[in-house]
A and B are shown apart, each in its own frame.
Chain A
Amino acid sequence: MSHDNAPPPLRPAPDYAGADRDFARDAAARAALFARLGAALPEGSLMVEAEDLRPYECDGLSAYRQVPMAVALPADEAQVAAVLAICHELEVPVVARGAGTGLSGGALPHAHGVVLSLARMKQILSMDATSRTAVVQPGVRNLAISEAAASLGLYYAPDPSSQIACTIGGNVAENSGGVHCLKYGLTVHNVLKVRGVTISGEVVEFGSAALDAPGYDLLALMIGSEGMLAVVTEVTVRLTPKPQLAQVVMASFDDVNKAGDAVAAIIAAGIIPAGLEMMDKPATLAVEPFVNAGYDLEAEAILLCESDGTPEEVAEEIARVKTVLDRCGARAMAVSRSEEERLKFWAGRKAAFPAVGRISPDYYCMDGTIPRKRLAEMLTAIAALSQKYGLRCANVFHAGDGNLHPLIMFDANEPGELERAEAFGAEILEKSVEFGGSITGEHGVGAEKINQMCVQFNRDERDFFFAVKRAFDKRGLLNPGKAIPTLHRCAEYGRMRVSFGQMPFPDLPRF
């Protein structure tokens, strides 16, 4: 959420539903727990001192902070299992952690819990060109897989913008996507098998090296489960052959409605582009001085549409895309003429977050999905909310998937701005639900969107999520308090929402 050195806005961690033993007050119980964990791990793999714990107090959503009781850094699956078995027996909450790039506070620690960092398990165990699969440990970085596969002419398709840093374990937990997922799928479509350890310390395998597995599709449940069902210790990913060629068309529009219609028209023409992204004017204005991608600064919106495949296939598809864009009223179009130029066109989109970070002390990244046809309506609604809350907002959009990332700009040092940014974000998410979409497309619910879960799901559905959780973790020890709100929590949020019309900031200054 925040960036560089802005002083952290300190916020209380949200309420937790899980078991809470007060290890903070019971020094003897704490010492006993540390002794057992220490014995299960190699020297230097358990941290309990405040200064060592501090770096783990938040993930990419730095507005939410909580120092854990301890951090464990297992080196292998047996150590993961040992830590979990001890925590299970003593009823200690456990929060798994990859690289901590999550944007919804999924890896936010529990005050009386253990953070289980998978950072030391970062080996690529095998890579097989013939079966086009790689077996990797959970702490392996997303991009490291593609780098290792490059010499085989293969890559791992899901490419979150955070791919230099984020881990495959985190990707599995969030079902992460990237700019190429319309054609190549999300994490769930690119993972064959996940080995994990349940809270009781038992090793289980979800999926298989074959294309399906007997029994219920628990792999589908594991993916996107935000570290709440089991801890991932090994992932078998599917690798994709690198296309011979990729080219991108950059088109600019003087009206966001036209750009939105162009997205629909491309799909209607039977084209599934490798990537289809949109940026609005505030976003291009923010990124252009940063990357010099050559974006049309007069345009209300620009579209980036990528084609990949054989040179013949790409030429054919690009020609069709250009016809559609032209018919939809694009005011200018450019096709990348080299790999260098293609990367330049993408550079602005990929650098949107840091670029916005340069023009605003802080920003808050939202992650709603909507049916594509509601895009223009959504952008209009966001513009009105921007007025209402007196905060600027730039929009980058995985247009092909209907996944919107509004970047709300604020200054955490100005009293009340963070709260306004949050209220602004909450309204965007609730609009997404109203438009037939979802409160999260790829960043997860975590600690952040727990209130909006009350809006998207009714009481029976939320109860059902708890039932699923119970099937894996009866005591509710894995990442307690995240992703699914309690009845109590929703009741409170309901009371607050009743007054949304007048509240929460009736006296806001307006631009």
Chain B
Amino acid sequence: MNVAEKPVIAPESLIGQRIQKKDAPEKAAGKTRYIQDMVVPGMLHAKILRSSRVHAKIKSIDTSAAKALPGVHVVLTAADVPNQQPIGVARDHLPLKGERVRSLRDEIAAVAADSDEIAEAALKLIRVEYEDLPIIAGPEDAIKPGAPLIHPAPLDADGQPKSLPPKTPVAFAGKADNIAMRFDYTHGDIAQAEAESDVVVEDTFQLHYVTHCCMGVSGVIAEFDASGNLLMYSNTQVPFLHKREFAEYLNIDPSRVRIIQPPIGGGFGSKLDIYPFEVICIFLARAAKRPVKMVFTREEEFLASPTRQPVLLTLRSGCRKDGTLTFRQVHTLHDNGAYTSWGATTPFVMMQTFSSLYRVPACDYHTTVVYTNNPYAGSFRGYGNLQATFAIEQHMDMLAERIGMDPLDFRMKNAQDAGEVTGQGMTFKSCGFKECLTTAAERSDYRRKHADNIANRNARGPVKRGIGIASMLHVGGGAKIYPSDGCGTILKLDDFANVTLITGASEIGQGSETVLSQLVCEELGLPISAVTVVNNDTAITPWDVGVHASRTTFIAGNSAIGAARKAKAKILAAAARKHGCDEAELDLRGGFVVVAETGEPLVELARLMRNLHFSDKAELVMTTFYYEPPSVHQDKAFKGDVSAAYAWAAQVVEVEVDTDTGIVKMTKVTGTHDVGRVLNRLGLEGQIEGGVVMGQGYALTENLIVDNGVTRNPNFRDYKLVTAPEIPEMDITFVESMDGEGPQGAKGVGEAPSICIAAAAANAIYNATGVRIFGLPFTPEAVYRALRGATPKPHWQAWKPA
């Protein structure tokens, strides 16, 4: 265990206060200048021609008419960029496709022109001849014997497989099957655990496509200076990884790539990979010798930004009559789409939930990720955890019902405690899981309502009420996916005691600037207004791995505290020297150096800073700190304590189901989150409320309909986000487990609030109607069909490659 003492909070402390986001006034006033608003002198406007076939060979591309259109500067196809390198997690992806298209989002040509309209008109003049290939419309088709290959090995002139050097990337070498990735994890003896079970249940769960719907769509501006240095204005969540990737891509020194992030209108994981459009924009800028701007239309964002990972999942779970879990066996089939991005790696997170949310003596987890001709999936808030939790938390209710145990008692009996080490080697240093469960249940009156609703199922009237609970475990102290999971800070105090906090951590709307300022001010005894945050320029900010894995408050927070503490030590030492006292007796409060014990002001901090600066020593207070969490990279068997802390939550969802229409109205969400410690209460509430609504959309309304490789609803008319009147009443509370490693005891919470909602909604619908639905989303028609028994139960025979 590693739990910190909760200090008595001083009245002037900022911790736990409700602090307005620093960027809120600008955004509310419409003054924030996003990439859409940016004009770089001399810039051209770019558009991409995407495939009009789902799967086809490209016979020919004719760009002559497009090139001839007045106002067009550059038209590029794969033929114009002979040295394309593959991108993506599996290096199976060339930005411009020359020989073959594998999905409708595939990029065939790109145009840079004087205006968007001209670029658009030029696209219409490009003629592409295709030869259609058979389509793999779903993951089950991809693994059928004799299925057409999405990435076949290239043949030489004699029709023989080309001989290529070993380790040639998939984009050039192809693959002998449609399997993009595999994940296999086991702990315990499954056969024995199953033999010891009194009850075993097995079901298939089907998780659908959704997409992020960031208000700020994907966009980039690329420009080369006269010496060939690349400057990009980019919405990316991972500027430092991009810097390195683009440098590798262009075969130039990384010092020649600079990335500036204008304010980003939401990320949620969608801006975490390197994408074809970014590389293509660089190609265009290089060819045009002008800055080139490319911003997606909303339709394009739906068609060509990543989706959440769709999953087919067969789960087998067992327990004993006394309510002890015995085993879980999981097989999933992940629809990768045509190329591999982060969606394929969601098993990292999914298996944590299966192996470690509850104590389970045996766990056997297998994922096969397969290529299809569908859009490709990326990372999305929760990173597979919504999918895993949907299955596991329904099974918890089903097992409880089978052994006649209350679902809450069943969870409590198997819930983790602080100090436990799981089969995967995750070590729970702080753990408020049980308190989350009991608090959420009590505040929502879960037990009584659960029983009443069952009793009322057959009462008159079409509307049935239901209540459901679900819990979650997620990384809360970063995730060591890369060799480093760290973040650097440079902190500078000027001669007015104003702080410039230069951090590697990107702001994507989540409120990191505010919480980092707060943590710094807490150390230095200054008001939030004293801090200016610089966080968006790789030429200035120190390294950070990127915004993902709910890590920023924890990692960048610890880094900021580290720099602030160094500054504080420097300041107190100087003050002690000057005033002839012991620095251990001094503290910083309210803009003054004070005597710690009495609070008596010794000298105004600003004055001390000027004295230091303008004295004969001419000293500046400028510190740096790099924080690396004490977590480890998992080994090949997926074992290792990958995060420095783990976050917990339980959420209770209440619904009304109209059995005449299938409409599920979410009436209330009661959520209790173990956040370690509340830092910015307002930011936390905003994060949770937004996350709940995102979870609600996943559960009830959002559905990217992909039909035989074609996205049928690439617009907000038919892709339904939750609107204001649908948002449920929320009762959000926090458990402060005071994590010993967390900044002021806090843990990450960014992804947590979305994770349980669909699972809890499924349990609530069952509680209301006695009908269990195994596939998402719970749109009115889907629910209505299920209530009428008109939905075949999903079934996928558990399978893994030999």
Say if A and B assemble together.
no
- Interface residues of chain B, those whose CB is within 8 Å of chain A, are none
